[in-house]
Amino acid sequence: MGYLNYNIIFDLDGTLVHSVPDMHNAINKTLTQYKLANISEQKLQTFVGEGMLSLSKKVVDYCGGNEELYETVFKSYRQNYSIEPYKYSTLMPGVMNALNYFYDQKIPMGICTNKRQFVTEKLIKQMSLDKFFDVVIGAQDNIPLKPKPDMIQLTINQFNSIKGSFFMVGDTSNDIDAAKSANIKSIAVNGGYTHVDINSLGADYTLDTMEEIIDLFRSFKLGPN
């Protein structure tokens, strides 16, 4: 038997792509411009996941600025990152094998990320990943970001069929909590951008690496779990 209408939705940053190096490059250009202290890549990674505005505010606070700079830094960072989202970024371990497997098995795949729509599309095209995804949903005006369920619901509604089982694959509580709110299954993958124990996220399935998702879905092949 086949995969019985399984559909997979992936988070982007920290799940499919290690994108912090390019975010780091962009934000430090901004910080230098406004005479703020630079930030390490490791520290910046702890601020990823809730969208660019949230990240910008946290960076300003951490680097010695005040709230009057929030909007200015946000706009500058957004522009810098939009120009060059793919210079230093790499795929997370095991991702290409997983994408190729699901693609070969004709399992529909989508992306649901708090990264802006335009930048998400630009990044996956520059990384030659666009052929894998039937649906790509990034941050848009007037749609609440994850962990609210709205973006996941929008993603589901854009698949050719909303029948069958949907799985949200992510690396942080934003992904897992959004999946729960949207009433779909969740898969947490270790090694991403969460700063808590991955097992504490309460996902339906927890994997050490993306490579393990292939065996997980092979175990589903005889029928729904």
- Token pair 């996956």 in the structure block, residue: 124
The rounded distance, in Å, linking the Cα atoms of 96 and 10 is 13
Residue ranges of the chain assigned to CATH 3.40.50.1000: 6-18+91-220
Predicted confidence band at 161 (pLDDT cuts at 50, 70, 90)? confident
Name 172's Cβ contacts closer than 8 Å, sequence gap at least 6.
11, 14, 49, 192, 193, 194, 201
What was the pLDDT predicted at 163? 74
What was the pLDDT predicted at 77? 97
The rounded distance, in Å, linking the Cα atoms of 221 and 225 is 9
Q: Is the pLDDT of residue 225 over 50?
A: no
- CA 89, 83, 23, 123 dihedral sign is negative
Q: Is the pLDDT of residue 11 over 80?
A: yes
Quick one: tokens of 45? 């990674």
- State which CATH number among 1.10.287.1080, 3.40.50.1000, 3.50.50.60, 3.40.630.10 fits the domain covering 6-18+91-220: 3.40.50.1000
What was the pLDDT predicted at 2? 61
pLDDT digits (tens, 9 = 90+) for 23-73: 999 999 999 999 999 999 999 999 998 889 999 999 999 999 999 999 999
What was the pLDDT predicted at 3? 67
Residue ranges of the chain assigned to CATH 1.10.150.240: 20-83
**Is the backbone of residue 34 left (phi > 0), alpha (psi -120 to 50) or beta?**
alpha
Q: Is the pLDDT of residue 1 over 60?
A: no
Q: Is the pLDDT of residue 75 over 60?
A: yes
Predicted confidence band at 17 (pLDDT cuts at 50, 70, 90)? very high
Give the residues across from 169 on adjacent strands: 10, 187
Q: How many CB atoms lie within 10 A of CB 79?
A: 12
Name 184's Cβ contacts closer than 8 Å, sequence gap at least 6.
9, 152, 156, 165, 166, 167, 168
Class of domain 20-83: mainly alpha
The rounded distance, in Å, linking the Cα atoms of 136 and 130 is 9
Percent of the chain's residues with pLDDT above 90 = 91
The rounded distance, in Å, linking the Cα atoms of 195 and 192 is 9
What was the pLDDT predicted at 222? 56
Predicted confidence band at 160 (pLDDT cuts at 50, 70, 90)? confident
pLDDT digits (tens, 9 = 90+) for 136-154: 999 999 999 999 999 999 9
